[in-house]
Amino acid sequence: MSRKNLRLLVPLMSLLIALAAGSAIIAATGASPAEVFLRMARSTFGSGYGIGQVLFRATTLVFTGLAVAVPFKVRLFNIGAEGQLLAGSFAAALCGMALPAALSPIVGIPAALLAATAAGALWALAAGWLKVRHGVNEVISTIMLNFIAQAVTGYLLTNRFAVPSTVHTPPMGEGSCLPGIDALLGLSWHSPANLSSLLAVAVAGATAFLLARTRYGYTLNAAGLNPEGSRHAGIDTDARMLGAMALGGALAGLGAGNLVLGYKHWFEAGLTTGAGFMGIAVALLAGAHPVWLLLSALLFGWLDYGGLTVNTLVPKELFMIVQALTILCIISFRGISSESHSG
């Protein structure tokens, strides 16, 4: 009972402390925190465009958050969602570019999404394989793979695929694009939000089901909680690690659905804007639980876009401080509470 309360309390307390610290910093820069937050609220929730922007940003974060959360179950810390998202986005854009424009969306969309998941999964599997086969720490390998993904996509983009004198690939065919939220609901928000947001909710639900209700999820949890015991119980822990990494990478890759298929319709430099890294914060705040993760993604999506809208009052870096502080608080509180439990 008390332990369950604690689990909820830790993220909430962390968030409050981080927001309080953020307010203090805002005050220190000379602006009024109340004014800043009010302006943020108005510019995000006050207009359809604002809501759409928050939704759009949150959607990518759901995917990258899940990409961190799933490997977390087998005690792997996937810092590579950024690289996996890049690989997925690039693959999706190339796939969409290669497919004929007149292709039916029933074929085109799944094909592009499949390319994205496959690329993301493969990128993550590289780290998983290094871990299982050679014991390479996945934190280091995924960070390095992020750099490599950035360099490879950057190189291929400028030297091979970019439309001359731009930094993006040619737009993909109509048949592989996801409809925007305006077209779906008959709105005129003119925001980048698209069908992917629904997909994100469905995927989070499916992931929750997989982890909590299936035999595979059972073995995944067991392998994470007690690897030694799992080997005795005939659970192949190496295979579970590879599986969780591949799944995580695939989920990160699916983020391409939002960025490429739903919004840009091409791959461009700086497309991911650090969403992969923010996914770590999203997953940590949600305690790696897929359903809580939806809320945590919304919150970070709001901070991300809201920070932009008050850029004239306070530098948007300030909200990066709030994010980082939240994570620091969560990690410290967990450490403190586990100390007092064992002591």
The footprint of other proteins (CB under 8 A) covers: 213-219, 221-222, 225-226, 228-234
**Which residue, chain included where needed, has tokens 């608080």?**
329
| Smallest separation, CB 128 to other proteins (Å) | 20
| Smallest separation, CB 332 to other proteins (Å) | 22
- Identify which of 282, 317, 294 has the alpha carbon closest to the alpha carbon of residue 72: 282
Q: Give the type of residue at 208.
A: A
Give the number of other Cβ atoms within 10 Å of residue 304's Cβ.
23
CB distance 169 to 157 below 8 Å: yes
Pick the closer one to other proteins by CB: 151 or 225.
225
Q: Which ranges constitute the DSSP H helices of the chain?
A: 2-28, 33-45, 48-72, 81-98, 105-134, 138-156, 181-185, 196-213, 215-225, 227-232, 237-256, 275-285, 290-309, 317-342
d(CA 307, CA 302): 8
Pick the closer one to other proteins by CB: 160 or 341.
341
CB distance 83 to 123 below 8 Å: yes
| Smallest separation, CB 226 to other proteins (Å) | 5
Residue 268, CB-side half-sphere exposure with 13 Å CA sphere = 19
Pick the closer one to other proteins by CB: 5 or 165.
5
What lies within 8 Å, CB to CB, of 143 at 6+ separation is 79, 80
CB distance 115 to 91 below 8 Å: yes
| Smallest separation, CB 50 to other proteins (Å) | 40
| Smallest separation, CB 72 to other proteins (Å) | 14
Question: What is the chain's alpha carbon radius of gyration, rounded to the nearest angstrom?
Answer: 20
| Smallest separation, CB 296 to other proteins (Å) | 22
Pick the closer one to other proteins by CB: 233 or 331.
233
| Smallest separation, CB 54 to other proteins (Å) | 34
Pick the closer one to other proteins by CB: 33 or 224.
224
Say how many residues make up the chain.
343
Pick the closer one to other proteins by CB: 228 or 339.
228
Pick the closer one to other proteins by CB: 107 or 225.
225
| Smallest separation, CB 233 to other proteins (Å) | 3
- Identify which of 163, 173, 142, 169 has the alpha carbon closest to the alpha carbon of residue 64: 142
Pick the closer one to other proteins by CB: 230 or 272.
230
Pick the closer one to other proteins by CB: 38 or 202.
202
d(CA 81, CA 123): 9
Q: What is the DSSP letter of 258?
A: I
| Smallest separation, CB 62 to other proteins (Å) | 23
d(CA 19, CA 322): 6
